[in-house]
């Protein structure tokens, strides 16, 4: 085992100190905000009926846990988000491959993809309800609509920027376009695909919530819109906090998959 120099030890200690300071500051900001919020509600600096308070939100969560209703709403939103995310990932890779394989097709469809990607997806939700009805299918499609067009464009751009020398080598060895795709394009684009999924999971969640606002009878989006209509601010803020936790959890899972891939790839290179 090689000896570590004093400079390296000092550098590693600086990194550890930096990480400790960042994590401590994050925790301090979070708990400081919650304490100030609770104190402001208790002392009536803010109206607890409108702004609620951390203690009321916790109490509301316990009540909904006791009757198991909150789990049904969480599972509904989570299920719709995961299904829309998986469909977006599959369709965007397939569409990007088709665009890469045909230059003529990509030139024809490019302006349509740009326009559809720029279109506010909330404008499509009422149309989807008319076409598909007020059901989970509509919500899943709404979740897909937010992410799929941008995902296709990003992956297609990534496919086009793969090292041309590697592609030339495949053709030099009498390889076909299929060999280029399977040996160069797709393997070389895996980091970009994973990075794209980290964006898509958040966009799919946004699309699902938009769909639940308009076409759901359960789910966290439905809980948010219903609680705002009947002025149950505890429900509303609790639902928003649960969405934040859900978004962080899904993002963390994809980040773990990315780390696993990079670790496996690096070990394979060695």
66 or 173, greater pLDDT? 66
- Check whether residue 65 and residue 103 sit in a common domain: yes
Radius of gyration of the chain, Cα coordinates, nearest whole angstrom: 24
The CATH number linked to 69 is 1.10.3720.10
Query: Residues 20-52: pLDDT tens digits?
Result: 999 999 999 999 999 999 999 999 898 888 888
Lowest mean pLDDT among 168-182, 193-207, 229-243: 168-182
Residues 114 and 148 in one domain: yes
Note the pLDDT of residue 48: 85
Q: Are residues 149 and 102 in the same domain?
A: yes
For 53-108, the pLDDT digits (tens) are: 999 999 999 999 998 889 999 999 999 999 999 999 999 999 999 999 988 999 99
Could you tell me the two tokens for 59? 């109490």
Q: Mean pLDDT throughout 187-208?
A: 90
Dist CA 51 CA 182 (whole Å): 55
Q: Do 209 and 150 share a structural domain?
A: yes
pLDDT higher than 80, residue 119: yes
Confidence band, pLDDT 50/70/90 cuts, at residue 209: very high
**CA-to-CA separations, 127 to 121, 123, 268, in angstroms, rounded:** 10, 8, 49
Domains of the chain: total:
2
Same-domain check for residues 23 and 116: no
For residues 255-268, average pLDDT: 79
Please say if the pLDDT value at position 162 is more than 90. Answer: no
b (16+ CB within 10 A) / e for 176-194: eeeebbeebbbebbeebbb
Q: What is the pLDDT of residue 40?
A: 93
Mean of per-residue pLDDT scores for the chain: 88
- What is the C-alpha separation between 143 and 125, in angstroms, rounded? 10
Indicate whether 136 and 245 sit together in one domain: yes
Average of per-residue pLDDT across 120-146: 85
Clarify whether residues 227 and 154 are in a common domain. yes
User: The domain containing residue 2 runs over which residues?
Assistant: 1-46
> Which band of pLDDT confidence, cut at 50, 70 and 90, is reported for residue 240?
very high
Confidence class for position 270, pLDDT limits 50, 70, 90? low
Q: Calculate ∠ Cα 79-246-158, nearest 5°.
A: 80
Average pLDDT, integer, range 236-251: 93
Question: 7 with 83, same domain?
Answer: no
For residues 3 and 102, state if they share a domain. no
What per-residue confidence (pLDDT) applies to 257?
86
pTM, full prediction: 0.86
């Amino acid at each position: 085992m090689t000896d570590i120099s004093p400079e390296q030890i000092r550098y590693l200690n600086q990194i550890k100190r930096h990480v400790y300071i960042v994590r401590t500051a994050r925790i301090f900001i979070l708990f400081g905000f919650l304490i100030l919020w609770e104190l402001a509600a208790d002392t009536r600096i803010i109206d607890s009926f409108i702004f609620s308070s951390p203690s009321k939100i916790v109490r509301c969560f316990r009540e909904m846990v006791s009757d198991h209703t909150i789990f049904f709403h969480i599972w509904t939103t989570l299920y719709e988000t995961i299904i829309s995310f998986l469909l977006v990932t599959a369709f965007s890779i397939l569409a990007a491959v088709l665009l890469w394989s045909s230059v003529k097709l990509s030139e024809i469809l490019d302006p349509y993809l740009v326009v559809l990607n720029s279109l506010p997806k909330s404008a499509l939700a009422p149309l989807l309800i008319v076409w598909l009805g007020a059901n989970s299918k509509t919500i899943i499609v709404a979740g897909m609509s937010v992410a799929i067009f941008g995902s296709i464009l990003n992956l297609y751009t990534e496919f086009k920027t793969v090292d041309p020398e590697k592609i030339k080598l495949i053709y030099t060895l009498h390889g076909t376009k299929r060999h280029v795709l399977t040996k160069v394009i797709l393997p070389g684009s895996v980091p970009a695909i994973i990075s794209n999924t980290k964006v898509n999971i958040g966009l799919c969640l946004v699309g699902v919530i938009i769909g639940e606002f308009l076409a759901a009878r359960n789910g966290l989006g439905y809980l948010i819109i219903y609680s705002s209509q009947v002025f149950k601010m505890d429900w509303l803020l609790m639902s928003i906090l649960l969405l934040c936790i859900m978004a962080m959890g899904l993002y963390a899972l994809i980040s773990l998959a990315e780390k696993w891939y990079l670790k496996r790839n690096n070990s394979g290179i060695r």
